[in-house]
Amino acid sequence: MADDSCRDSNRGIQEAADDQRRRLFRHGFALFLLGLLTGLAEQHFTNVRMGLAAHLEGVMNGTFLIAVGAAWDQINLTARVKTAAYWILLAGTYGNWLVTMLAAILGTAALSPITAAGHGASALQESVVTFGFVAIGLAIIAGVSLALFGLRPKRS
């Protein structure tokens, strides 16, 4: 009886991991598509260079999520930590595209003097975008660190 319970529990954990893997693929392709669509609109942003950056962020972060999905079964973390990594990576990748889009729309120069191209925005707008970029950067670093930790060699 206990063996059946253990098998059912393991099956449930595996199904949850497979579902996360599928969702990573789906989110990766969705973000890739958002990046492509952003590229079509980049000439209409206040800061065209930042619009190009938003296009590239969508495409690259979408590709990154697809790669994470491909490796997901190899990431060995507890179910709770793996779920946290999943949500952190989703928030970081979508957030990266979104904050870069916001910077392109507002024409901010926050944390991106190369793409600022002489643009600038109000102090509040610059602060919001700066906070967004810092938060997203920390999220991506945390998510990738968790995934890398989960890829460590298993002990014998």
Cα–Cα distance, 20 to 75 (Å, whole number): 12
Buried b (16+ CB within 10 A) or exposed e, 9-20: eeeeeeeebeeb
Which pLDDT value is given to residue 122?
83
pTM: 0.85
pLDDT, one tens digit for every residue, the chain (156 residues)? 556 666 655 666 667 778 999 999 999 999 999 999 999 998 999 989 999 999 999 999 999 999 999 999 999 999 999 999 999 999 999 999 999 999 999 988 777 666 666 777 788 988 999 999 999 999 999 999 999 999 999 876
State both tokens at 77.
């973390």
In the DSSP assignment, the letter for residue 43 is G
Count the Cβ atoms, other than its own, within 10 Å of residue 143.
22
